[in-house]
Amino acid sequence: PLVSMNEFLPKAKANKFAVGQFNMNNLEFAQAIVEAAMELKSPFIYGVSEGALKYMGIEFTVAMAEAAAKKSGLPIALHLDHGSSFEVAMKCIRAGFSSVMFDGSHHPYEENIKLTKEIVKAAHAMGVSVEGELGTIGGVEDDISVEEENANLAKPEEAIRFYEETGVDALAIAVGTAHGMYSGEPNIHYDIIEKVSAAIPVPIVLHGGSGVPDEMIKKSIAAGVGKINVNTENQVAMTETIRDIVTKDQKVYDPRKYLTPARKAMVEVVKSKILLFGSNNQA
Ligand code: G3H
Ligand code: ZN
Is 81 marked active-site?
A: yes
ipTM reported for the complex surpasses 0.85: yes
Residues with CB under 5 A from ligand 2 (ion): 207
Q: In this structure, is residue 251 part of a structural domain?
A: no
Ligand of minimum distance to the alpha carbon of 133: 2
Range of the domain at 176: 5-231+273-277
Instruction: Average the pLDDT over 11-28 and give the result.
Output: 98
Give 15: exposed, middle or buried? Use CB within 10 Å, 0-12, 13-18, 19+.
exposed
Q: Which residues of 52-89 are buried (b: 16+ CB within 10 A; e: fewer)?
A: bbeebebeebbebbeebbeebebbbbbbbbbbbebebb
Q: CA-to-CA distance for 277 and 280, rounded, in angstroms?
A: 8
pLDDT tens column, 253-277: 999 999 999 999 999 999 999 999 9
* pLDDT tens per residue, range 108-142: 999 999 999 999 999 999 999 999 999 888 776 66
C-alpha 252 to ligand 1 mean position (Å): 32
Is 273 close to ligand 1, i.e. is its CB under 6 Å away?
no
Number of domains forming the structure of the chain: 1
Answer whether 207 contacts ligand 1 (Cβ < 6 A). yes
Q: Which ligand is nearest to the CA of 236?
A: 1
The rounded mean pLDDT for the chain is: 96
- Are the C-beta atoms of 189 and 210 separated by less than 8 Å? no
Specify if 81 maps to a domain: yes
Nearest Cα residue to atom 2 of ligand 1? 229
Give the C-alpha distances (Å, rounded to integers) separating 213 from 42, 124, 184, 217: 21, 35, 10, 7
Q: How confident is the model at residue 161 (pLDDT cuts 50, 70, 90)?
A: very high
The reply to whether 282 falls in a domain is no
- Pocket-testing residue among 29, 148, 179, 216, ligand 1, by greatest number of atoms within 8 A of Cβ: 179
In a domain, 182, yes or no: yes
Distance 203 CA to ligand 1 centre (A): 17
Is 224 inside a domain boundary? Answer: yes
pTM for the model stands at 0.96
Q: CATH number for the domain including 40? A: 3.20.20.70
Neighbour count for residue 160 (Cβ, 10 Å): 17
* 257 inside domain: no
Q: What is the mean pLDDT of residues 77-88?
A: 98
Cα distance between residue 222 and residue 157, in whole Å? 20
**Higher per-residue pLDDT: 139 or 82:** 82
- Percent of the chain at pLDDT > 70 equals 96
Determine which residue's CA is closest to atom 6 belonging to ligand 1: 208
> In angstroms, rounded to a whole number, what is the distance separating the alpha carbons of residues 85 and 224?
28
Let me know if residue 156 belongs to a domain.
yes
Q: Is the pLDDT of residue 152 over 70?
A: yes
**Ligand 1 close to Cβ of residue 229 (< 6 A):** yes
Please report, for residues 101, 123, 132, 231, the alpha-carbon distance to residue 88 in angstroms, rounded to integers and kept in the order given.
10, 12, 15, 21
Helix axes 232-248, 27-40, angle to 10 degrees: 110
- Active-site residue (options: 81, 103, 244, 249): 81
Higher pLDDT, 168 or 136: 168
Query: 21 by DSSP, 3-state: which?
Result: strand
Q: Is residue 268 one of the residues assigned to a domain?
A: no
